[in-house]
Structure 1
């Protein structure tokens, strides 16, 4: 069944340039450290104690989508104001108070000079930026004088110890001093393409095992962790599930062997960076699969070659069919079909079984709207053994396969160009508290920098970007297609919900209660075989899940001519293409498909079944929210 028209050929709207970010400095005084750093805005020296604890576990590169996890600690960027270089120890000791005062004054003077020199050398500090003057620093010095005598003794001892250690290392050379070096260059932006890959397919096809194997082969999980999971799986008499434990992190998923939530992980090759989205395969969790697929650029349809399992997933009611159709509807136009479990005793890497599956799948995928010659590729793998995944197939296992490995096939996927200068759009899929409000999502348009001012729609909350995390790293800039965690100021966590959209202030995303859409009716329920005004369903559009009602059928489209029929339409049946007016019960953020395809395509589900796919064709101007 083909789509009503070519939805993927639309162009995006004209777009605006992103804002720039300013460097930030921090000040921390640790009496047990050999040196200290300075923040001009700090009110006083704050003694700290060293921390010897560990932040705890979590797998490298992995974060569950819906778990309120605290992000791992991130290395801070170097401060533009350099730490002072300690002076060599004085030949004769001075009284403790005098030593503390002299050391503090000397370091403050050096800081002032170092900061001025860094600013002059780099040209980073402009006339419009706030720079502390000598009098400001002197004011900080006076505030520092309020330290207790005990703290002053500790500071003096720490300075002397640092001086002695540096003297032993020969670090007191003026040529090697950090103050004399130019400031660090701006953060390098990783130019490797980033792809979001969703693993879809019938339950028990091996999606989570493949995801875990990918992380292991790309060195995101160490051998000790794998051995731990092997022991846990053996204790539960599920020896073959141990790789899936990397992706399935909660006890319910491990006990049942079924993915419930969309697992998220990250890995890299020399050519590309990837975010894995491990979608659940059970029919009860299709809404979660839709959430994962809506964020994806590439799909990996996992099919079990084991005798009987392919047939179960592909027959009517199997999730192989529904997942492939939904992925195309949600904008996943590139598809790799991974024929898994080729090592099973019932298959034995037989070329005949691989060819049989490919022959049955190709006509179906073509009917879903995929370009099977250009955008669909089949390859045999073993997720459990890791064969034909990172490295090409070993001929002793499969002599007939000369094609690429899974990693090579992913690297070869070509994505359409993305414009980083468009109005910012980031649908939110999750939120949690961590030293403020942190939101998660994928940038669909535009780019973001630390310090940007944005607006959260539909509640019109004006926010500022405090920190940007890509994978597990803090970055100052992110471009379209990136999956991010962003810490915001100006909004509380409880005031944000999944489906809200972080957008640019100048061009906020429209907020509507109704819109016109073009629908393609797939297969209606047996007891609701007529689609007419009053039909109620669940709308899935980007990260929004909302109840809706068809309030009017506007016109029916002839599937052959693509033109409206003249006859007034009162109802349609399965297979029809119709333009309707849809009403939602809560305000949602949407875009016209022609402006932002990824924010204008949707599905309608009823009683756990996908009954229609659609695209937004018109927004009512009266209900479109504009910048106030």
Structure 2
């Protein structure tokens, strides 16, 4: 049973929490205790419709303010697929939370209030989905019950969405547009007679049909986390290189190239715990043995010899999302971390700030402030062997760490 990672986005009160609760409720993914909690809270509030938002709005601060203020991860499954939903806030000041919530997602669900249509936040949410190269974006035009399930309202907003997505350069995701009412349940899991004019799929059907990114072939990359040298009765002079396969596949007999040494070797053994394997794939944590000794240490990266090579330069161009209150000036120094690799870097240049609401209107800047999204150049103390994010997401992203506070101050994507 494959896994699909989903992020949700929407402006304040667009109904994300209610949608997630409705999706779980109508797919029978809630426990009896959760269903009882929904009924209890609904009765306490004197509402006519079930209050599904209590499933995700569980923090005390959320209840006090009546809004979702953090990233919540919801795990559920049907008889055909497993899902992880990252529910992040929609406020502009929480851009960093949106990026965090969507960073591991494959699909974005963007909610649009049928009464309001597209807002500036809608552009921001779509921009972030494209910054993270999510291959499918599902626009749910919510609260159709409040516009009398009007087909004209739906068609107008759908046309606005199509114009917005067409205006983004290098944007080519799969787009789905669905009229729903998360409160009433229309077109979330079950087709609605209230929208007889809509002949498309329900949200649940779309989510079950989307291809997982795990099925997309990319170059083999394995980040070495530990070098194992074991000498005992069971393992005689055993040497292995353990880590997680970031992307691609590896098979016994494959010829690999190791960076930074750029030496070749043949894979003689793939081991997971005590089990010997014929091959390993994306996400597997394994130990690999080679036919000869090579200079390999923590932070080295193993690639296949016949596949695309990673970036070997000491300068990279990257999009940064600034996450820290403290501003960053040109010349500031940080630690760049990607997997087990860490290197000192300097912010060489800020080419432009990208306003997500209008990405073509690039703005000049001499510093980065909280929630800024910028095109930058970074100077590395040594190569770190990443890939272009557009080519290999699993080996094309990194974080910047403030060496003074040890806080994560930015997330970056190699251009």
TM-score tier, shorter chain, comes to 0.5 to 0.7
Q: Deviations over 1:305-342 (max 9, x none)?
A: 1x23x35xx1xxx3221111011111212111111111
Match of residue 593, structure 1, among 384, 388, 400: 388
Verify the 8 A CA contact 1:226 1:243 in the aligned structure 2. Answer: no
Verify the 8 A CA contact 2:141 2:180 in the aligned structure 1. Answer: yes
Match of residue 342, structure 1, among 141, 144, 152: 144
Deviation at 1:520, TM superposition (A): 10
SS of 2:90's partner is coil
Whether 1:330 and 2:132 are equivalent positions in the alignment is: yes
Partner of 2:168: 368
Partner of 1:204: 13
Larger radius of gyration: 1
Sort the Cα spacing of 1:293 and 1:412 in 2 relative to 1 into closer, same or farther, 3 A: same
Whether 1:244 and 2:244 are equivalent positions in the alignment is: no
Distance 2:411 2:164 in 1: 17
SS of 1:404's partner is coil
Deviation at 1:290, TM superposition (A): 0.5
Sort the Cα spacing of 1:342 and 1:481 in 2 relative to 1 into closer, same or farther, 3 A: farther
Partner of 1:389: 188
Q: How does 1:572-591 map to 2 (within 5 A)?
A: 573=363, 581-582=377-378, 591=386
Structure 1 unaligned runs (5+)? 1-191, 428-441, 449-463, 467-476, 487-502, 522-527, 555-571, 605-611, 618-628
Distance 2:37 2:73 in 1: 21
Q: Deviations over 1:457-515 (max 9, x none)?
A: xxxxxxx988xxxxxxxxxx996479xxx9xxxxxxxxxxxxxxxx997739x999974
Distance 1:254 1:579 in 2: 38
Partner of 1:378: 177
Verify the 8 A CA contact 1:203 1:281 in the aligned structure 2. Answer: yes
Partner of 2:288: none
SS of 1:343's partner is helix
Q: How does 1:173-192 map to 2 (within 5 A)?
A: 192=1
Verify the 8 A CA contact 2:347 2:376 in the aligned structure 1. Answer: yes
Whether 1:507 and 2:302 are equivalent positions in the alignment is: yes
Q: Deviations over 1:364-410 (max 9, x none)?
A: 122234756x711101111122221122x222x12211111111111
If each structure's strand is expressed as a fraction of its own residues, which one has the higher value? 2
Distance 1:336 1:426 in 2: 36
Sort the Cα spacing of 1:480 and 1:247 in 2 relative to 1 into closer, same or farther, 3 A: farther
Match of residue 411, structure 1, among 208, 220, 227: 208
Deviation at 1:194, TM superposition (A): 2.0
Sort the Cα spacing of 1:216 and 1:232 in 2 relative to 1 into closer, same or farther, 3 A: same
Sort the Cα spacing of 1:590 and 1:250 in 2 relative to 1 into closer, same or farther, 3 A: farther
Deviation at 1:581, TM superposition (A): 3.1
Q: Deviations over 1:283-316 (max 9, x none)?
A: 22221211111101111111111x23x35xx1xx
Q: Deviations over 1:89-145 (max 9, x none)?
A: xxxxxxxxxxxxxxxxxxxxxxxxxxxxxxxxxxxxxxxxxxxxxxxxxxxxxxxxx
Sort the Cα spacing of 1:233 and 1:616 in 2 relative to 1 into closer, same or farther, 3 A: same
Partner of 1:353: 153
Deviation at 1:534, TM superposition (A): 4.5
Sort the Cα spacing of 1:377 and 1:365 in 2 relative to 1 into closer, same or farther, 3 A: same
SS of 2:144's partner is coil
Q: How does 1:119-130 map to 2 (within 5 A)?
A: none
Deviation at 1:245, TM superposition (A): 1.5
Whether 1:402 and 2:199 are equivalent positions in the alignment is: yes
Partner of 1:516: 316
Q: How does 1:517-556 map to 2 (within 5 A)?
A: 517=317, 533-534=330-331, 550-552=347-349
SS of 1:507's partner is strand
Q: How does 1:459-478 map to 2 (within 5 A)?
A: none
**Cα RMSD for the two superposed structures:** 5.0
Distance 2:204 2:247 in 1: 27
Deviation at 1:414, TM superposition (A): 2.8
Partner of 1:565: none
Distance 2:188 2:43 in 1: 25
Sort the Cα spacing of 1:479 and 1:270 in 2 relative to 1 into closer, same or farther, 3 A: farther
Verify the 8 A CA contact 1:279 1:292 in the aligned structure 2. Answer: yes
Q: TM-score, structure 2 length as denominator?
A: 0.61
Q: TM-score, structure 1 length as denominator?
A: 0.42
Verify the 8 A CA contact 1:196 1:276 in the aligned structure 2. Answer: yes
Q: How does 1:267-286 map to 2 (within 5 A)?
A: 267-286=76-95
